[in-house]
Amino acid sequence: MGVVRPFDPRLIRHVPAMRRDVALLAVLGVATALSIVIAASALAKALAAFSVPALATFVAALGARAVFTGLSGVVTARMAATVKAQLRGELLKAAGNAGPVWLGGQRAGELATLTGRGLDALDGYFTGYLPQLVLSVTVPLAVLLTLAFADVTSAVIVLLTLPLIPVFGILIGWQTRVATERQWRRLRLLGGHFLDMVTGLATLRAFRRAGAQVAAVREMADRHRSATMKTLRIAFLSGLALELVATISVALVAVPIGIRLLSGGLTLGTAMLVLQLTPEAYAPLRIAGTRFHASMEGLTALDQAFTLLAAAPTAKASTPVAGFTELVLKDVSVSYERETALSSVVLTIRAGDRIALTGPSGGGKSTLLALLLGFVTPTEGTILIDGVDLSTLDRPAWRSNIAWVPQKPHLFAGTLAANISLGDPDAPPEAIDAAAKAAALPHDLGIVLGERGHGMSSGERQRIAIARAFLRDAGLLLLDEPTARLDRVSEAAVISSTIALAEGKTALMVAHRPAMLTAATRVLHVENGTVTELPTPALHPEPAGDPATAGVIQ
């Protein structure tokens, strides 16, 4: 977590559209400061010697101040909406480029909390704190200049006491920052855990673990409540401290003014002007300090968003990737925090190869596919596409040539046709229908699925993912156990279609059943992070037995 600053310059760099609004806010701040000085001067003149023009000027200045304040609110509201929209777009784009491996180790729920509740907390920063930050520069400066001409003694007192407010604000802000970061961290963990729990609620209920998770969520919520209350206590104390400092500072000016006025050393008009302007000099700083503490949660979320975006893979100049003739892995290793998934893999894949990946679960087969998808970056070694390092290619451009069937495809609420069209959103209805038939889907394309494919069996969900691959018509096919959870009839249909789909293309298929080997021209055995090429076996019928387990390849 970086340092939370009153104004983060990264905002301007990430959201260039802010520059116009910041400049407009500064102009409105100067106009507001001038209206305050004009109103105070006019009222002092009207009270010292009744003057109708002075009263009219006072009323007009108050109206102008109200207009400028309202316009500042409009500008900052637009600024908040612009910043939130752009940051959310960048975070979601970066998450999409990173793939299933969330940025910075973020879980889906934590990322959702950041892009939702976290960035929404910026409203208080933009609409509450930022206008006061501008006024805390323009108003004290205008007041000091006016007092310097009206009463030098009062101007000196104000000049010496003004720094006390930001100093106290900074001292209290250190404690507020620690408390707010703790509060945000617990909110992020709570949001991530809650979303993960809701997603797996059916599984938790099946294994009778829902009650334990409810207790865990209740405990996390209680910790977040305690952290929030600590933050609020500090914020209230900071408000009290800033009010006390401002009140004492005003008194240091007001008492001598009263004495000098009684002794005849000061005119009534000057005294009234000084007494009106002095509180105005402290007010923006005091309010800014209070609202800064109230906007700390949004600033903390903003800092985390920038940290994640800085760690995200950047878009790179793309070499054309319409197809390839050779894909080479040179001494590629992938290490996670506690294990090595792949170790010094040397592999050449030529266009047209249909490779079956065999081996026990956890051996590294899925990691090998994730490498080619760009979801995982090699810890050591390089991946070359016709001699070009994969890391230099634009990831979306590279993935546009890949059809991927994961172990657990994601389905969304909508028609079957809409779910299949995710493979190619521009595909005509007849192409979608052909893809569904190729994947042996028995349902009408108009049938409506629930979220995450509710209403479909595991095998049917898998076939929908395979239909997407058919529809995509990509040059490189990556299939992670495409026949998993299929019965014999469906498995035979999918294998037949897969052979037809892979004709003239390059395919890597994770195969746990011997039937998948019929579609392969090469067989690679992946175990304990090492890859060994095996002779292509003669095709034999699977032994009789349980269709769910017969002939499982290890």
32-62: b or e for each residue (b if 16 or more CB lie within 10 Å)? Answer: bbbbbbbbbbbbbbbbbeeeeebeebbeebb
Burial class (CB in 10 A: 0-12, 13-18, 19+), 436: buried
Q: How confident is the model at residue 550 (pLDDT cuts 50, 70, 90)?
A: very low
Three-state secondary structure call for residue 510 = strand
Give the position of tokens 């992670």: 480
Task: Please give the average per-residue pLDDT across 178-203, as a whole number.
Answer: 70
Backbone angles phi, psi at 459, to 5 degrees: -65, -40
Q: How confident is the model at residue 30 (pLDDT cuts 50, 70, 90)?
A: very high
Is 80 exceeded by the pLDDT of residue 159?
yes
Cβ neighbours for 467, distance < 8 A, ≥ 6 positions apart:
420, 423, 432, 435, 436, 438, 439, 441
Check: CB of residue 506 under 8 Å from CB of residue 353: yes
Q: pLDDT value at position 1?
A: 47
Q: pLDDT value at position 65?
A: 93
Q: Between the CA atoms of 282, 286, 291 and 292, what dihedral angle is there, to the nearest 10 degrees? A: 100
Task: Please give the average per-residue pLDDT across 187-195, as a whole number.
Answer: 70
Top mean pLDDT of 47-51, 104-108, 202-206, 345-349 is at 345-349
Q: pLDDT value at position 244?
A: 82
pLDDT, tens only, 326-345? 889 999 898 877 778 888 88
According to CATH, the topology of domain 10-306 is ABC transporter transmembrane region fold (1.20.1560)
For residue 92 the two structure tokens come to 């979601």
Top mean pLDDT of 29-33, 494-498, 508-512 is at 29-33
Handedness of CA 375, 381, 386, 388 (dihedral sign): positive
Q: pLDDT value at position 540?
A: 40
Cβ neighbours for 469, distance < 8 A, ≥ 6 positions apart:
403, 404, 405, 423, 477, 479, 501
Q: pLDDT value at position 33?
A: 94
**Angstrom distances, CA of residue 123 to CA of 295, 342, 347:** 8, 46, 52
Q: pLDDT value at position 322?
A: 58
Question: How many alpha carbons fall within 13 Å on the CB side of residue 209?
Answer: 11
Where is pLDDT greater, at 542 or 107?
107
Over pLDDT 90: what percentage of the chain?
Answer: 11
Query: How confident is the prediction for the chain on average, in pLDDT?
Result: 80
Q: Cα–chain-centroid distance for residue 229?
A: 26
Where is pLDDT greater, at 227 or 419?
419
| Strand locations in 155-275 (E) | none
Is 70 exceeded by the pLDDT of residue 106?
no
Handedness of CA 451, 454, 456, 457 (dihedral sign): positive
Looking at the chain, the domain(s) classified CATH 3.40.50.300 span 326-534
Is 50 exceeded by the pLDDT of residue 27?
yes
Lowest mean pLDDT across 134-148, 164-178, 295-309, 391-405: 164-178
Is 90 exceeded by the pLDDT of residue 351?
no
Q: pLDDT value at position 107?
A: 60
pLDDT, tens only, 34-55? 999 999 999 988 888 778 888 8
Q: pLDDT value at position 446?
A: 82
Q: Are strands 506-510 and 476-480 parallel, antiparallel or unpaired?
A: parallel
Which letter does DSSP use for residue 448 in this model?
E
Task: Please give the average per-residue pLDDT across 353-378, as a whole number.
Answer: 85
Is 50 exceeded by the pLDDT of residue 542?
no
pLDDT, tens only, 439-459? 778 778 888 887 777 777 777
Lowest mean pLDDT across 229-243, 248-262, 480-494, 528-542: 528-542
Where is pLDDT greater, at 59 or 163?
59
Is 70 exceeded by the pLDDT of residue 158?
yes
Looking at the chain, the domain(s) classified CATH 1.20.1560.10 span 10-306
- Work out the angle between the directed axes of helices 130-150 and 152-161 (0-180°, nearest 10): 150
Q: Cα–chain-centroid distance for residue 127?
A: 21
Where is pLDDT greater, at 53 or 180?
53
Task: Please give the average per-residue pLDDT across 132-160, as a whole number.
Answer: 91
Where is pLDDT greater, at 222 or 98?
222
Q: pLDDT value at position 29?
A: 93
Task: Please give the average per-residue pLDDT across 22-33, as a whole number.
Answer: 93
Where is pLDDT greater, at 110 or 404?
404
Q: How confident is the model at residue 181 (pLDDT cuts 50, 70, 90)?
A: low
Q: pLDDT value at position 409?
A: 83
**Angstrom distances, CA of residue 44 to CA of 47, 54, 262, 554:** 5, 9, 17, 92
CATH class of 326-534: alpha beta
| Strand locations in 397-505 (E) | 402-405, 414-415, 448-449, 476-480
pLDDT, tens only, 296-324? 777 778 888 888 787 766 555 455 555 67
